[in-house]
A and B are shown apart, each in its own frame.
Chain A
Amino acid sequence: MTPTRLSEHVAAADIVSRHRLRIWEPIPWILLLAFYFVFPRYLGFGVELLTMILFALSLDLALGYAGIVTLGHAAFFGAGAYTVGMLAKHGIWNEPITSLILAAAMAGAIGLASGLVLLRTTGLTLLMLTLCTMALLEEAANLGAQYTGGFDGLDNLPIPPLFGLFEFSPLYPKTQYLYCLAVLFLCFVLVRTLAYSPFGHSLTGIRENTLRMHAVGAPVRWRLVTCYTISAAIAGIAGGLWAQSNAYVNLSTLGLDRAATVLIILVLGGYGRIYGAFIGAVAYMALSHFLAKAYPTAWQLGLGLLLVVIALFARNGIIGLWDQLTRRFFAKRAAP
């Protein structure tokens, strides 16, 4: 077999098998489950971690796979959180699982509506529009104090037990942790399936070369809108989970801070890679948990330096660095 044939063969084998479950893929899940037993005192932190992983995963779909550069993804997180919060606080509906579905529907609807008009633009305009949409929602939540609690938000949300059996206890968030883990797993399966489906590949195609995708007849805009809507709905679920596990919702779910945080998490882990959200969230949340409270200014300084370094030298995040290292290692071994 000639060398070109061989590489073609390898590439073909990769294409047929890339969606298959890798041997290490259960490991993150085992670790997340183990966390529940090993660190019962840190479950509150664990819940925060899980919601951020889910949020970053939703952003990965839009930013990493479809290449939609957005600064306003917290709009959907907030929409989900406020849907759950307002329905519960005003005594309309508070059953956890159906509330989450409603949160997803609400965020998805906002994603669809804004995506339909926003995704006609690109570049700076798109960036500005996503930013403005988020600012608009934040301002609306601030002003509609009658319904949203305004600046103070809504607290003491009455969240009934899950399946009528498992209490959401604010001090020992055991139920919340397992509940979040289960929801995260379901959403992850969805995102993974999507990412490796023909739909996912066409998204990658659009990210890499929009013009060519137009030329081969792919319905570019509809693909983008669909992806944006799904991503928004998942972000809404993450927001809903956040509101349910904390039993409150406030403006912090909607702001630029949260949007920037999730972007940093995803970029830190590596975007366009299905486990980037996990690695990034664990690294970021662990660091921020121990540093941010004790040395907030130094933490911000470090974060800034980290971003600059990532932008200049490590564009694919931690996973990208790992890939480079292993590749270099194996390259050395292969060429003695």
Chain B
Amino acid sequence: MIFDIDVASMLLGGLAAGMVLFIVSVGLSVTMGLMGFVNLAHGAFAMLGGYVIVLSMRRWGLGFAPALALGFIVIAAVSVVFERLLYARLYRAAELDQVLFSIGLVFITIAAVTLLIGPENQPLTLPDALQGQIDLGIVHYRTYSIFLIVVGVVIVISLWLGFERTRMGAQIRAAVDNRRMAESLGINIGRLFTITFAFGSGMAALGGGLGAEFLGLDPQYPLKYLVFFLIVVAVGGLGRVTGVFYASVLIGVLDFVLKKYLPQGGTLFIYALTILLLLWRPQGLFGGKSA
């Protein structure tokens, strides 16, 4: 019986972590799939969102939900400016230029946040309703983790519906599969990309705020988790919402299980697994065509 409870709580913890990974990475996957842009600065948007959310709660006494909404809107708006002014110039550039540009952007963000706000970790204060434990029948578990799982599931379902059932979603899928063909059918790729980019960055901002509780929130955030976000996208496949979801859950749970049974070599194992996986399926575990 003890074993069951252990397994259940491990799965729940891993699921909660996986949801945050998903919320942050989904935008990265879609924008990379759409434009083939190697955007290493995606984590920077997540971090900025986290700061907006945490600081607006602490300094202006905003509630958790309004703060999340504010974070989403502010970062989505900021990313439109970035996309139009800077990213758009590099869509046809070589990969190396995109890598350099986005690493530069990461450095700028880290330095700017350190200068303006300070190098220390910004703790997230959860509202009372989300603190403490909740009784799930078989196991007591942290309310916030359950909240994250619920939020994650709601988001993945609405994204999936949006992706599969709306005109916009169909356009994005078409553009990911065959950009030239989509363009010649009259789909305005530039506009599509701006909207997707803004939405993806807004999601990252949400993830930055929701995950601040266990990922922390300090200026080094974009570099610290860069590899993890990229692994999720690479495993999930480019431009696949459901793929990224499965990959996030898989990696979240795997990370939790490994931390428990293999506290030393867990990360090593994940890297090794990713390498093997990418060699076996370069397009990712859930990706359709070869990228």
Contacts and interface: CB of A to CB of B under 8 A. Distances in A.
* Chains A and B are bound partners: yes
B115 interface: yes
A215 B125 CA distance: 61
A117 B278 CA distance: 10
Contacts of A120: 279
A311 B264 contact: no
A282 interface: no
22 contacts: A69-B95, A118-B279, A123-B95, A124-B238, A125-B291, A127-B38, A127-B95, A132-B227, A135-B227, A139-B265, A139-B271, A256-B227, A263-B99, A297-B111, A298-B111, A304-B104, A307-B101, A307-B103, A307-B104, A311-B90, A311-B98, A311-B101
A130 to B, nearest CB: 10
Contacts of B265: 139, 143
Interface string B24-60: 0000000010001010000000000000000000000
B86 interface: yes
Interface in A145-190: none
B267 A139 contact: yes
Nearest to A63: B96
Contacts of A71: 99
A312 B282 CA distance: 29
Contact of A260 (B103, B109, B272): B103
Contact of B231 (A132, A139, A267): A132
Given A123-B95, A132-B231, A143-B264, A308 B274 contact: no
B234 A301 contact: no
A140 B90 CA distance: 36
A15 to B, nearest CB: 25
A304 B38 contact: no
Contacts of A133: 275
Given A69-B96, A127-B99, A311 B275 contact: no
B74 interface: no
B89 interface: yes
Nearest to A311: B101
A312 B110 contact: no
Given A260-B103, A308-B86, A312-B86, A129 B95 contact: no
Contacts of B274: 128, 132
A118 B93 CA distance: 23
Interface in A188-244: none
Contact of A311 (B32, B97, B108, B272): B97
Given A125-B282, A131-B230, A132-B227, A304 B97 contact: no
Interface string B227-255: 10011001000100000000000000000
B114 to A, nearest CB: 5
B106 A125 contact: no
- Counting contact residues on chain A (CB < 8 A from B), the size range is 35 or more
A164 B70 CA distance: 68
The 5 closest A-B CB pairs, nearest first, are A307-B104, A304-B107, A304-B108, A301-B111, A311-B101
A74 to B, nearest CB: 13
B100 A136 contact: no
B225 to A, nearest CB: 12
Nearest to A312: B89
A305 B108 contact: yes
A128 B231 contact: yes
A123 B291 contact: yes
B185 interface: no
A132 B251 CA distance: 15
A264 B104 CA distance: 10
A331 B123 CA distance: 60
B150 interface: no
Contact of B105 (A69, A118, A124, A308): A308
Given A123-B95, A128-B230, A129-B279, A300 B100 contact: no
A129 B275 contact: yes
B238 to A, nearest CB: 7
B112 interface: yes
Interface string A281-294: 00000000000000
B38 A301 contact: no
A252 interface: no
Interface in A104-134: 117-118, 120-121, 123-125, 127-129, 131-133
Contacts of A127: 38, 95, 99
A308 B40 CA distance: 13
A32 interface: no
Contact of A136 (B226, B268, B282): B268
Contacts of B111: 297-298, 300-301, 304
B223 interface: yes
A263 B271 CA distance: 22
A97 B104 CA distance: 38
Interface in A77-125: 117-118, 120-121, 123-125
A304 B105 contact: yes
Interface string A257-276: 00010011001000000000
Contacts of A301: 107-108, 111-112, 115
The residue in B38, B104, B114, B267 that gathers the most chain A C-beta atoms within 10 A of its C-beta is: B104
